[in-house]
Amino acid sequence: MSAAKIVAIIAGGIAICIVLLVVFGLSFFGVKTTELHVIKGRTGNEEGRTIEVSKGIDDLIVSLSLQPNPVAVGENLAMAISVENTAKESRKLSFRSSQRYDFWVVDANGDEIWRWSEGRMFAQVLEDVVLESAQKTEFTESWNLIDSKGAPVKAGEYRVFGAIVSDELKGEELEIDVGVKAAAQ
């Protein structure tokens, strides 16, 4: 079977699962259906793939992506979070500081081991950012697989979270599991 057929089968399976989740009620799985309109995910099939998840909140689509996954000790994990306005009119995002986003990582025990914003200073200003119709804003960072204490993380499974920190998207976090493998010999 060709790689294209395998990818098509996987994509079809994901689409069917999403439809079934919506039809049979996302609340069964602990997802708030009052605010959630769209969930989609994309993964590649090969080693070092990009993984992306998206969540629709009203007319805004927030997406988190990581690459590569898995990542080897000694490499960097590229992280991106974006927000896109799908409404026909502009949308305002209100921020309580100059911080626009955050990323953080927890280990298999659920303990936070790294946070992008930790130790950073942000101006304490109220600011509204207007997203025009069909406008998308993306923020990217890189994690060097060093925890907040300065130690390299061990091989294993971790969960990466990302969020846009506007008032309108408060509490809307996206998450992706990422594997960290031992450095190539």
- Tens digit of pLDDT for each residue in 102-137? 999 999 999 999 999 999 999 999 999 999 999 999
Tell me: do 150 and 174 sit in the same domain.
yes
Which residue segment(s) compose the domain that 117 sits in?
A: 41-181
Dist CA 155 CA 181 (whole Å): 5
- Tens digit of pLDDT for each residue in 142-182? 999 999 999 999 999 999 999 999 999 988 999 999 999 98
**Structure pTM?**
0.73
Tell me: do 23 and 91 sit in the same domain.
no
Tell me: do 95 and 132 sit in the same domain.
yes
Tell me: do 23 and 104 sit in the same domain.
no
Tell me: do 168 and 151 sit in the same domain.
yes
R_g over Cα of the chain:
18
Tell me: do 85 and 22 sit in the same domain.
no
Which CATH number goes with the domain that contains 110? 2.60.40.2360
Q: Which residues pair with 51 in a beta bridge?
A: 43, 66
